[in-house]
Amino acid sequence: MLGTSYLSLWQTMLLVTTFFALGGMITVHPFNSPFQLSFAPVIFSSLLMYFRRLSVEYTAFFGSIVMVILRVVTDVSTSNMELMEILLERAPTFFFYIIYSIGFNLTRVREQRDNVLMTVMLLTICDGFSNAAELAMRGELFSRPADVTFGILAGVAIARAVMAVFICYGLREAQAVALAEEQVAHYNELTLLIAQLKAELFYLRKSSRDIEQVMVDSYGLYQEMQNCQCREQERHLLVADQALAIARNIHEVKKDYQRVVAGIEKVLEPSEGDRKSLLSGIFQLIEQNARRVLAQRGADVSLQFECRQDFWTDQHYVIVSILNNLLINAIEACGDKGAIQVSESIEKDTVIFEVQDSGCGIAEADRELIFQPGYSTKFDRRTGAMSTGLGLSHVQNLTKLLGGQVVVTSGETGGTHFYISIPTVRLIA
């Protein structure tokens, strides 16, 4: 899957900046003057629309500096102009991208990227205005007929905007295809895993029957010892035989459970291609599951997921289990209507997960008890069956397993906020 990670964010920016700067070397001179039109704005806008976590300002600043340096080096090696004269000639290029980046932010192009026509229009405005500003800096804006100048600028702006949108949508489509293929692979693995687990259920059921038989034999031994009126030696032989039978059954149960544990461990052992996952991909899978649950309940609950700093992790199953349990609790707390926010951030050497809901909240007296196994205040309104009370206990145990901690706060009028902190060294692969 395409994306940026916590360890490679700056490398990704460097890669984007490099492509951006190299695109600036593909140029044409429409007015037979130092003013140039290049492919760089197409790369700049398309990649920034795709990599939405990259800084527009930093990318424009560093990319334009690298581009100017490349152009200056090229001019020094191919022309007889003085260095200062070359710098003055190339400087407006830097300001073009600074103005372009300001327009890109002010028009909020990233927020409109799902609207093709609006995106093309906004990019066209940014491009045309920035080119006009550069021409004005060079004193060339009104040095030729206005219809020629503005006609060329408008045509180029529209063409570059269309190309940028096309490239961005191409990247997004490639990401969607990669994600779909990954989900199909996960589904196939899950199907095989379920089939193997069902085979292990045979031994669990057999062990349950053996345990029941041990209980029957144990009680029978107790009754024999109470009622036996035979001689002492016969009584000892009878008790010994029954005790041996009980021990044999217990040993059989032990063997079955050892076999089941070994079988499940083998089934759940990750493959080479399943050892790491991107957190953004994990969030997408959790969100899809949560939306399915909401659709089944017919609840009007808004979901918002925010993965602020993406990274690769080999603890994907643990993260899914923790967040899924918290999400299910949040959905139940919201009932028919509400809002849930799930976010991730990194502070120094700690990964922070937050799950907030606008639901009924948790009473202050219950907050110290909610992590105890079996404790629950929830029940099914249709059947009256109580919840198992294991979800939050499971969350706390898994978090502690990774060296982290769980903190919960809840307002007097409702709303709950779970704050989970885990050391980065235990999550980031």
Q: pLDDT class for 5, splitting at 50, 70, 90? A: very low
Residue 75: Cβ within 10 Å count: 18
pLDDT of residue 252 exceeding 60: yes
Decide: residue 362, CB within 10 A, 0-12 exposed, 13-18 middle, 19+ buried. buried
Question: What are the C-alpha distances in Å from 340 to residues 56, 233, 329?
Answer: 29, 72, 11
Model confidence over 371-410: pLDDT tens digits? 776 555 554 444 444 444 567 888 888 899 899 999 998 8
Model confidence over 107-142: pLDDT tens digits? 898 888 888 899 899 999 998 888 888 888 888 888
pLDDT given for residue 384 in this prediction:
45
Domain boundaries, the chain: 9-179, 193-273, 277-427
Q: What percent of the chain has pLDDT over 90?
A: 11
CATH of 9-179 among 1.10.1760, 1.10.540, 1.10.3470, 1.10.8: 1.10.1760
Q: What percent of the chain has pLDDT over 70?
A: 73
Rg (CA), the chain: 33
Cα 230 from Cα 212, distance rounded (Å): 28
CATH class of 277-427: alpha beta
CB 340 within 8 A of CB 330: yes
Give long-range contacts, CB 8 A cutoff, 24+ apart: 132-137.
133/95, 133/96, 133/99, 134/35, 134/92, 134/93, 134/95, 134/96, 134/99, 135/35, 137/92, 137/95
pLDDT given for residue 3 in this prediction:
44
Q: Looking at residues 76-87, what average pLDDT do you find?
A: 81
pLDDT given for residue 405 in this prediction:
93
Residue 67 CA, chain-centre distance (Å), reads: 33
Q: Looking at residues 233-262, what average pLDDT do you find?
A: 67
